[in-house]
Structure 1
Amino acid sequence: MRTNEQIVRQALSRIEAGYVFPEKTAAIGAAIGRRLAEGAYERLDGPSLCETVTADLQEVCPDKHLRLLWADQPQSLDPADEDEGRAAFLALLKAENQGIRRVEQLDGKVGLIDVRRIAYADEGAAAIGAAMQLVAHSSALILDLRECRGGAPEGAAMWCSYFFRDDQVHLNDIYERSTGATRQFWTAAHLPAPRFTDRPVYALTSSITFSGGEDVAYTLQAHGRAVLVGETTRGGAHPTARHPVTEHTLVTVPTARTINSVTGTNWEGTGVIPNIPVQADQALKAALEDLGT
């Protein structure tokens, strides 16, 4: 059985090798090294170790995607099986209807889509298209992102594509540390359902909204395509890889950073700030009132 020190040191090696801001890894390593020398992690059980190390990581480097996580179900440690968490997330999306919780027609012909995860564009296209087909003739649309905890950048771009006329809108870029390359994200040329243009779009947010959910909200707001209603979001903007350290612990390492084409920056650390700030449980009511329905 591996000691807690071995687990933490392997997690640190993953961070040093892959973190999107390599200039910050020395400070991270030094801070966690001091905690190891103090014996801070020696007697902790698995979940407590993950919680404590995560708090220490984020104290020295406040990146909400930089974490040590506990997994109740055993994970494969075979390097051939490592896919940075994609397989597990695909299985979760399949079980959760590609992240779409419900689609509803409200009074006044206002459509509502409750999105809990942002699916991959290829796997999720049909479900996203089906949801958009159901609201295609609505007078306005509300995207409920209050419980959206993240997902794929490609899926975020697909969701956003529905709200622009064509494929000529440059949404954002993602810079990858491992390659030094910057990938551009533009609106899609072809979509499986009609685009939703020339009508109001609102996005509901909360302090739970995170990562991919923030991507959709921030992008639509920055491009002037949606009014955000609710609470400031959690503030995690860095695409992340997941690496198993033991069968029950994994380290999440932000390996890239998002750059919005309008603002030139992102929502990391600050969250996405709503246009109409209200408590999350009042956001739908406030959006409908702003629409005059």
Structure 2
Amino acid sequence: MKTISIFLLFISSAYSIYSQNLSANQVREITEKIPILISDRYVFLEKGSEISKQFQINLSPNKYVKYTNPDSLAQVLTKDIREISNDGHLYVSVKKNLSSTEEPLEWEEIERKDEIEKNFGFTKIQILEGNIGYVKIVEFMHPKRSFPTAVAAMKMVEETKALIIDLRNNSGGYPGIMEYILNHYFEGPPEHLHTTYFADEKSTDKTYTSDLIHGKLMINKPLYVLINSKTGSAAEYFAYTLQAFDKAIIVGENSAGAAHMNDFFDLPHDFKISISVAAPINAKTNKNWELTGVIPDYKTESNRALEKTLDLLK
């Protein structure tokens, strides 16, 4: 489940386009393409068609032509599309202006810099009192570059009595490291975890466990995963999967509810729209966490989740 939204963050903040407002005709050209793309590209074709029809109702009275400022137009389009769809992955964005002294950076350069600053996502690894392992992961970063750090982190806590993985404020990332950690809690032949359905409703992709670990299995080690309302995407996948397969106890707040996978499509005049193009369905529950979020086994305020978990371990 690749979190393509990382790319948009970099792209949308990196390039210069508008120094003036849009004309009414430009606004129409932008908005008229939106329902076509949603109808063609949304993961569930029937729902995409319904979203498209509802959005076209908004277009009929020329509702958007007064929003000539690019940022204002993107904001109101996002608000309306999300109200119609109840899908947080549907949104419109516009590229930002740079000052005359700034140089645009490629998203890969920004990503690599971020990985170094965040220790490839593993910002804290501790052995707490009572031989309890604690691993804080702020993002699941590029698997090829992050893999040695992930191996070292899991090796450090493999002799602990129990493990706490803290995914609070982890908005997701790439799947590879998340899947590597999952492998520590499954043994035997590959086990089917999820089936991902794509927009054409004809192709699917099944995800299985593997025996790829460098260290010991942790199948008999109690595992607690901390989440909050800002835990999203691949981090939710991790927590939801472990909970569904009875491998972990989840503590904290309901997560963000961002199960769908998105991609980005060009709109006229350098606008872009994010659309849900795929959806993972868990092999055990036959559903996912879209909108509902991952529901903790023990609900508590985000800032008390670690304290609550340590109490449970006692």
Tell me the equivalent position of 2:93: 69
- In the TM superposition, residue 259 of structure 1 has moved relative to its aligned partner by 1.0
- In the TM superposition, residue 87 of structure 1 has moved relative to its aligned partner by 5.2
Choose from 145, 148, 151 the match for 2:167: 145
What SS is found at the alignment partner of 2:74? helix
- In the TM superposition, residue 73 of structure 1 has moved relative to its aligned partner by 6.8
Tell me the equivalent position of 2:128: 106
Write the distance in 1 (CA, Å) between the matches of 2:121 and 2:95. 21
Post-superposition Cα deviations, 1:246-281, rounded to whole Å, max 9, x if no partner, equal 686432111111111111111112111100011111
- In the TM superposition, residue 67 of structure 1 has moved relative to its aligned partner by 1.6
One-letter amino acid of the counterpart of residue 55, structure 2: I
**What is the aligned length?**
282
Q: TM-score, normalised by structure 1?
A: 0.85
What SS is found at the alignment partner of 2:120? helix
Write the distance in 2 (CA, Å) between the matches of 1:92 and 1:159. 24
One-letter amino acid of the counterpart of residue 64, structure 1: G
User: Is 1:256 aligned with 2:272?
Assistant: no
Q: Which runs of 5+ in 1 are unaligned?
A: 75-85
- Identity, in percent, stands at 28
User: Is 1:39 aligned with 2:52?
Assistant: no
Tell me the equivalent position of 1:272: 294
Tell me the equivalent position of 2:103: none
User: Is 1:115 aligned with 2:137?
Assistant: yes
Q: Is the contact made by 2:35 and 2:53 (CA closer than 8 Å) also made in structure 1?
A: no
User: Is 1:225 aligned with 2:247?
Assistant: yes
Choose from 51, 74, 85 the match for 1:28: 51
Q: Is the contact made by 1:93 and 1:119 (CA closer than 8 Å) also made in structure 2?
A: no
**Where does structure 1 differ by over 6 angstroms across 4 or more consecutive aligned residues?**
none
Tell me the equivalent position of 2:76: 52
Quick one: structure 1 residues 122 and 233, their matched pair in 2 at CA, closer, same or farther if it must change by over 3 Å? same
- In the TM superposition, residue 13 of structure 1 has moved relative to its aligned partner by 3.4
Q: Which runs of 5+ in 2 are unaligned?
A: 1-17, 99-106
Post-superposition Cα deviations, 1:221-259, rounded to whole Å, max 9, x if no partner, equal 001111000011121111111234468643211111111
Q: TM-score, normalised by structure 2?
A: 0.80
Tell me the equivalent position of 1:284: 306
Tell me the equivalent position of 2:209: 187
User: Is 1:5 aligned with 2:28?
Assistant: yes
How large is the RMSD of aligned CA atoms in angstroms?
Answer: 2.7
Q: Is the contact made by 2:183 and 2:212 (CA closer than 8 Å) also made in structure 1?
A: no
